[in-house]
């Protein structure tokens, strides 16, 4: 009876059930996939024969919206790209504007920016790595570290008043100075976090089950990774020590000493290790930045933005009391300050790779064209090549270790 | 670290003569333009040459200039030489009525999705692309939304009822309707300025 059924309905090859492949839709709402990505996977047993991935349609047309908006109103759009580390996107955008407007920022601003960007990087890597743990079945790690991301979010909150989509930057610096409470919280973070990170590593790095699950899963060679346009931790895991912070320093990164962790095989385990080591390096940078900031004395210690009234949004208090500030505020918000025509590409080392901004200005109130180079979008196309021939469960881990953020992919 | 913009420019001119035009250096990045049939030749040369080694495609996108007749669409490539750490920008212009450009996927795997995205938004037909279909928008769309003929709504328009967005309503802007039931444009009312009720 069963022979009849299979022969009739499935059309197996003669005498064999091994050659039958199944098409699986992994996502868009499958609990093991992140965001709204769909993976159409053809499996032979549990081995992947071929995979095709789609991005999912939460497209919000940021680039189109940006064509109608003055520079400042684009900041909230960049927040929502990689929302795990929105300060980096903010800073990247404002650095691009500063490059276009030829604005030079004071040293203290640069160091504050470095500080906040590295905090964001730690927060992002923490989430990514603990999610790799979740996808390998280790939920406790994720729940444990979540409360320590809070340490970072509290600092954001102290600096700008919000936690996730921070809107933290301004052209030329910050909206307000870092308060003493912010620095106290930073000290708390610097004091507590290394212990947590050590414990986090103890739980996973030499964990036998975790190693078995991740070593050799979803590898990519250095050559292929470069050809696929990989950057950031995913490229470094494959053995290429390319880091925008070192190779094209921005915001005074050249004043800091830190190492670039590099992996060998480019598999999931290496990506995990590289991110872990990068958190340690970020801690180094944060400590240095904090020391450098403390060296500023007197009036210099109060500097938190460049002196450029025509581009820097004035303090709200001044807007209500001073005519000058009111005029500048109005002109900036209505997009009537002059933006020079020109085209500029600027990139920063986002938490998961080179985040680039390509901005063309024709001298109008809004950019003529703005393009975001989003690292996630570029990684994800390699997914089918990385998972071909591997097990289905490895594909899940590969996907989470690439650190795909839906908001960034669909910009 | 001896490769400079001047050397790159010299080598390119030596190889391609005066076919490459519009050499510029906005904000320090070498920018030039190639004829659209030659984009692959130029990129292949940049990729293979022993001193140039532009083997990393950072970014690929397009720009629409509706006023430039016969060369409305520009495809912009950002290439990166990771060894000498130098970037350049290559532009290719095409007619909007026949937007055919050779694909760079054979050279750079990363071009695959970036070209699909560019096709999705600007309708540039990348000749030889293995899978040229929409990526961020739905397949049923029959237009290319990032072109300039589809502008976003002007945020200063007042001829519609947008009380929910902070305009109109109590001030009477955009709430009055004409005989056919449509909202009236402010200039048609004849009461701009002094007697808004």
Q: What's residue A406's pLDDT?
A: 84
Q: Is the pLDDT of residue A264 over 60?
A: yes
Share of chain B above pLDDT 70, in %: 80
Does ipTM come in above 0.95? no
Q: Tell me the pLDDT band of A94, cut-offs 50, 70 and 90.
A: very high
* Strand ranges in B26-161 using DSSP code E only, listed in sequence order: 30-34, 56-64, 73-81, 86-94, 100-102, 125-127
Instruction: Please answer yes or no on whether B145 and A64 come within 8 Å at the CB atom.
Output: yes
Cα A398 to Cα A47, A55, A145, A269: the distances in Å are: 14, 16, 21, 9
Cα B53 to Cα A307, A397, B8, B45, B47: the distances in Å are: 41, 34, 11, 9, 5
SS3 B116: helix
Q: Please tell me the distance from the alpha carbon of residue A79 to that of residue A83, in angstroms, as a whole number.
A: 6
**pLDDT of A35-60, one tens digit each?**
788 888 888 888 998 888 888 777 78
Q: Is the pLDDT of residue A360 over 70?
A: yes
Q: Tell me the pLDDT band of B73, cut-offs 50, 70 and 90.
A: very high
Q: Establish how many alpha carbons lie within 13 A of residue A166's alpha carbon, considering only the half-sphere containing its beta carbon.
A: 29
**Are the beta carbons of A43 and A21 closer than 8 angstroms?**
yes
Instruction: Please answer yes or no on whether B109 and A381 come within 8 Å at the CB atom.
Output: yes
Q: What's residue A371's pLDDT?
A: 94
Instruction: Please answer yes or no on whether B26 and A57 come within 8 Å at the CB atom.
Output: no
* Strand ranges in A45-127 using DSSP code E only, listed in sequence order: 47-54
Rg for chain B, CA atoms, rounded? 24
Q: Is the pLDDT of residue A334 over 90?
A: no
Q: Is the pLDDT of residue A85 over 50?
A: yes
Q: Is the pLDDT of residue A182 over 90?
A: yes
Q: What's residue A5's pLDDT?
A: 47
Q: Is the pLDDT of residue B171 over 60?
A: no
Q: Which residue has the higher pLDDT, B49 or B177?
A: B49
Distance from the Cα of B180 to chain A's closest Cα (Å) equals 32
* Strand ranges in A197-341 using DSSP code E only, listed in sequence order: none
Q: Tell me the pLDDT band of B163, cut-offs 50, 70 and 90.
A: low
Q: Please tell me the distance from the alpha carbon of residue B58 to that of residue B89, in angstroms, as a whole number.
A: 10
Domains identified in chain B and CATH numbers? 5-162 (3.30.460.80)
Fold (topology level) of A62-410: Cytochrome-c3 Hydrogenase; chain B (1.10.645)
Mutation target among A369, A370, A402 for the B interface, most CBs of B within 10 A: A369
State both tokens at B190: 């004849």
Domain boundaries, chain A: 2-54, 62-410
Tell me the chain A residues in contact with residue B1 when contact means C-beta distances shorter than 8 Å. Answer: none
User: What would the mean pLDDT of A79-85 be, rounded to a whole number?
Assistant: 90
User: What is the average pLDDT score of chain B?
Assistant: 85
Q: What's residue B156's pLDDT?
A: 59
Query: To which H or E segment does residue B28 belong?
Result: none
Burial class for A179, CB neighbours closer than 10 Å (0-12, 13-18, 19+): exposed
Tell me the chain B residues in contact with residue A369 when contact means C-beta distances shorter than 8 Å. Answer: 63-64
State both tokens at B31: 């920018």
Tell me the chain A residues in contact with residue B61 when contact means C-beta distances shorter than 8 Å. Answer: 358, 371
Mutation target among A95, A97, A229, A377 for the B interface, most CBs of B within 10 A: A229
User: What is the average pLDDT score of chain A?
Assistant: 89
Q: Please tell me the distance from the alpha carbon of residue B137 to that of residue A56, in angstroms, as a whole number.
A: 9
**pLDDT of A313-332, one tens digit each?**
998 889 999 999 999 998 88
Give backbone dihedrals phi and psi of B183, rounded to 5 degrees, phi first. Answer: -70, 150
Distance from the Cα of A371 to chain B's closest Cα (Å) equals 7
Q: Is the pLDDT of residue B175 over 70?
A: no
Q: What's residue A1's pLDDT?
A: 42
Q: Which residue has the higher pLDDT, A339 or B167?
A: A339
Instruction: Please answer yes or no on whether A226 and B56 come within 8 Å at the CB atom.
Output: yes
**pLDDT of A210-258, one tens digit each?**
999 999 999 999 999 999 999 999 999 999 999 999 999 999 999 999 9
* Strand ranges in A254-410 using DSSP code E only, listed in sequence order: 342-350, 353-361, 369-373
Of B26, B112, B152, the CB nearest to A344: B26
Q: Range with the lowest mean pLDDT among A77-86, A165-174, B76-85, B172-181?
A: B172-181
State both tokens at A63: 């680039």
CA angle at A231 for the pair A106 and A276, rounded to the nearest 5°? 80
Q: Which residue has the higher pLDDT, A30 or A113?
A: A113
Q: Tell me the pLDDT band of A19, cut-offs 50, 70 and 90.
A: low
**Are the beta carbons of A355 and A376 closer than 8 angstroms?**
no
């Amino acid at each position: 009876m069963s022979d009849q059924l299979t022969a009739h309905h499935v059309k197996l090859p003669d005498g064999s059930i091994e050659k039958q492949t199944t098409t699986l839709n992994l996502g868009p709402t499958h609990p093991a996939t992140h965001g709204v990505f769909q993976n159409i996977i053809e499996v032979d047993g549990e081995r992947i024969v071929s995979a095709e991935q789609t991005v999912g349609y939460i497209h919000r047309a940021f680039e189109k919206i940006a064509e109608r908006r003055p520079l400042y109103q684009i900041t909230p759009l960049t927040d929502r790209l990689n929302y795990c580390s929105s300060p980096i996107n903010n800073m990247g955008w404002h650095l691009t504007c500063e490059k276009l407007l030829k604005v030079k920022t004071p040293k203290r601003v640069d160091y504050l920016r470095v500080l906040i960007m590295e905090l964001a990087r730690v927060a992002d890597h923490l989430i990514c790595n603990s999610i790799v743990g979740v996808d390998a079945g280790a939920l406790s790690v994720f729940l444990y570290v979540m409360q320590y991301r809070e340490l970072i979010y509290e600092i954001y909150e102290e600096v700008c008043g919000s936690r996730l989509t921070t809107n933290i930057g301004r052209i030329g610096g910050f909206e307000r100075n870092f308060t003493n409470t912010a620095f106290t919280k930073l000290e708390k973070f610097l004091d507590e976090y290394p212990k947590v990170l050590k414990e986090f590593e103890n739980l996973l790095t030499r964990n036998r089950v975790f190693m078995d699950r991740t070593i050799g899963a979803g590898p990519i060679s250095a050559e292929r990774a470069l050809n696929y346009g990989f950057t950031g931790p995913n490229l470094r895991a494959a053995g290429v020590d390319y880091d925008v912070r070192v190779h094209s320093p921005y915001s005074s990164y050249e004043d800091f000493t830190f190492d670039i962790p590099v992996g060998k095989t480019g598999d999931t385990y290496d990506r995990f290790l590289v991110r872990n080591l990068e958190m340690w390096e970020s801690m180094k940078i944060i400590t240095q930045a904090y020391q450098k900031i403390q060296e500023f004395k007197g009036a210099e210690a109060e500097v938190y933005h460049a002196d450029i009234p025509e581009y820097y949004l004035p303090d709200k208090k001044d807007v209500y009391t001073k005519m000058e500030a009111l005029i500048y505020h109005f002109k900036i918000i209505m997009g009537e300050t002059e933006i020079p025509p020109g085209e500029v590409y600027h990139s920063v080392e986002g938490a998961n790779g080179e985040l680039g901004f390509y901005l063309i200005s024709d001298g109008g109130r809004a950019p003529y064209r703005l393009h975001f180079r989003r690292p996630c979008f570029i990684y994800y196309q390699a997914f089918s090549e990385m998972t071909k021939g591997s097990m289905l469960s490895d594909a899940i881990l590969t996907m989470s270790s690439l650190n795909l953020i839906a908001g960034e992919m669909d910009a | 670290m001896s490769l400079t913009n001047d050397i790159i420019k010299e080598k390119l001119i030596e190889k391609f003569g005066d076919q490459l035009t519009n050499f510029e250096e906005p904000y320090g990045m070498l920018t030039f333009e190639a004829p659209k049939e030659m984009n692959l030749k130029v990129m292949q040369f940049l990729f293979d040459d022993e001193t140039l080694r532009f083997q990393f495609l950072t970014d690929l996108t397009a720009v629409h200039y509706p006023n430039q007749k016969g060369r409305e669409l520009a495809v912009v490539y950002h290439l990166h030489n990771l060894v000498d750490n130098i970037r350049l920008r290559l532009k290719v212009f095409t007619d909007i009525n026949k937007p055919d450009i050779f694909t760079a996927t054979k050279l750079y795997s990363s071009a695959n999705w970036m070209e699909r995205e560019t096709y999705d938004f600007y309708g540039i037909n990348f000749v030889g692309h293995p899978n040229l279909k929409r990526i961020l928008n739905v397949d049923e769309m029959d237009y290319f939304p990032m072109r300039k003929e589809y502008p976003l709504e002007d945020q200063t328009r007042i001829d519609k009822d947008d009380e929910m967005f902070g305009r109109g309503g109590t001030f009477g802007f955009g709430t009055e309707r004409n005989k056919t039931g449509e909202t009236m444009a402010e200039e048609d009312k004849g009461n701009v300025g002094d007697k808004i009720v």
